[in-house]
Structure 1
Amino acid sequence: MRYSQHISMLLLLTLLVGCAGTAPRDLKPWEANQDAASSRASSSGAKSLKPEYGPKLSVGEPYTVKRGDTLYAIAFRLGIDFRQLAARNGIKSPYTISVGQVLATSEPVVVASGQSRARGSASAQSNSGTQSSKPKSKSSTSKGTATKAVSKPASAATPKTKSVARTASKPQKKSASKSVEPSRPVSRWRWPSRGKVIRTFAANVHKGIDIAGKRGDPVTSAAAGKVVYAGAGVTGYGSLIIVKHNDTYLSAYGHNERLLVSEGSVVNAGQQIATMGSSGTNSVKLHFELRRQGKPVDPLTLLPKR
């Protein structure tokens, strides 16, 4: 009797242990990843639960362009305006860069005004000294002959100069009409997702907000603009989309599962650009940033209250 009771107890314990969890082979891929991530998080501490988004590149050190980089993404990681980075490297619109190209990230060296003035005064003094050594009579005669030579054909040359000025003004008007598209202000920002904010902006520690949601939830553009980056080359953001709205504002959408737009795509406000996922992180969420002239700003100060 006792032997049979022991056997029955062992069988009961085996059944309870087997029902306590799901077999690893029955887990879905993302569930397995989340379980592994949670176990790593518990062993490594609380820091892994709050990752630092987008490790900044150090301003001052040259950067070699890698495959998938864009000028906007590099400036995004440097935390500066894309036009500043372009100006430092003599890159003009449409800001094309190539793999292997070395970009200068430091600010240009500015010569002190006192030194430039001293150099200018020294050169002026040297010029005045050489001019004063010449006899006055020769300089006065040379001036007189020069004025006589110019005064004779002046009346005949006047109409020609007018015609040249008119013809030169025409291409200037054409080039102005073909200038870069105007910078349109954003009249109203839209929420990129309907989920709840689970982490707020915190200056350099957390450069945007995290919005909770379910895998596959739509991610929409916060305003009209142009996609200037779509890829997974920025560490800490997973599958990332960066939209340029005007010369002042960029918006970023990280940790997506699927990207529905590509670089160069023009998007409207509220248009779906991705689906929510957990790329580059351990839970399903959207990391959303707004940058004003390259600097992160709190999206909650611009998004409408809800």
Structure 2
Amino acid sequence: MCAGPADVHGLFETAVRLVDRHCPWARSIHIVAPQPHAARERIALHRLSHRPVVHADQEVVPEPVMHLPGWFRQQYVKLHADLVCGVEQVVCIGADTLVLDPIAEHDLYRDGLPLLRFFRYDEPNPHLPFERTRVLNVAAQLATQPDRTFLPGDFVCDVFPMADSHLHALRSHLDRLHGPDGLARVLGALGQPRRQDNRTGEWTMYAVFVLDALRDSTALLLADRGWAQQIHTAADLARSAPYSAHIIHFVHEPGGTAAVLADLEKSGRLTLWA
């Protein structure tokens, strides 16, 4: 989990507690933060089955990467998550993402390989063309054709399983294409992030590499509405059963953190335990 300064004072604390409760198969929880002391203080108040390991950004990324904008630096960290955690299977979870229901390991992995999910929407939505453009941009960075990933398009989910073998192969592939630490070079060439930025993306890069560059046998599934939902605006909360999914990613927190948590508790989807 990557936790930026705004995340630490947002849903981060609740996100960690829910992972601890609803992901009992997790052998450890690792958090990477530019302000590690603040992150430790937020979670030190709670009794957790797994005491999270909190890393400072500079402990896990090389010095040149520290100069990248925060969003790009987080992408770098996530695509090195196997090295940060020292495990073969890793699940990246957003600090603004709440796992509201128990998730089993078989929901994320099959025969040791991660399950890749793509997303669709209830009505015509400009977001899918936006994500397909991201696929094209990432495919160019990987020098591959997105034969299997263009139509699915949207792979963005902040509960994302990965395998260390895939991550190692991805980094090596980028090094061959772009030179030493190729991922840092790709991200550094982008300059500053844009407000709506589909020039790259860690989840899309992983999916395009695994499915199109590696031609791996990793399963590709359509994520149903019960798996994950995203909250962008207050309008999303006005729809029917906005909290019905197992996973809720709050791209924005309408009304602020306290209002979001109160609304979740009122809906019966969250019990704020002591």
Indicate the TM-score class for this superposition, using the shorter chain for normalisation: under 0.3
TM-score by length of 1: 0.20
For CA contacts below 8 A with separation 6 or more, give which structure has more relative contact order: 2
TM-score by length of 2: 0.21
Which protein has the larger Cα radius of gyration, Structure 1 or Structure 2?
A: 1
